[in-house]
Amino acid sequence: IQYLQNNRIAHRDIKLENILVDKKSLKIKIIDFGFATEMHNIYVKSSIIGTMSYLSPEMFVEKEYDPFKADIWAFGILFYYFCTGYFPFRSVDNQALQNKIVKGELLFPKDINPGCQYLITKMLAYDEEERIGITEILEDSWIKPVNIFGRIAELKKAIKN
């Protein structure tokens, strides 16, 4: 996602079915660029492009929206699924599902890690202006691995001084 956004490409259909994992390298690959577009302007006219369960609230109103923030929303839906085993918004029909997404009522299981919940909440912020970006996601303390060896070296250096 970072690579795509750095190259001004909005995928516009990030979903579980479009994620592959290479067995040897364990690298994650995003596929199906049928809705992807190179973005010269940040905002696009509202249109429902993608898969209903992953659509962000702003896609349902008639206004321009940021497709990069919509991709972050879809990534947040995936992240929620990976962490809980189910989707945050579920329904038997599309209209009821759309209503749940537009209301933006996000519920979490009681046993979810607080750091994980905080990150997902920022990814699924109802207001796209408040939604976290990919750089902030990668820098989040829950995602970014702690470099314990680097910290030990820093502490040793500080103790010597």
Q: What residues act catalytically?
A: 13
**131 near 72, Cβ under 8 Å?**
yes
Q: What is the spatial distance between Cα 122 and Cα 134, in angstroms, rounded to a whole number?
A: 11
Q: What is the spatial distance between Cα 83 and Cα 106, in angstroms, rounded to a whole number?
A: 14
Q: Which residue has the tokens 């912020």?
A: 125
CA angle 7, 9, 13 (to 5 degrees): 145
- Amino acid found at 39: M
Count of helix runs (H) and strand runs (E) in the chain:
6, 4
Closest CA to 83 of 125, 136, 142, 23: 142
Dihedral sign for Cα atoms in the order 85, 87, 131, 118: negative
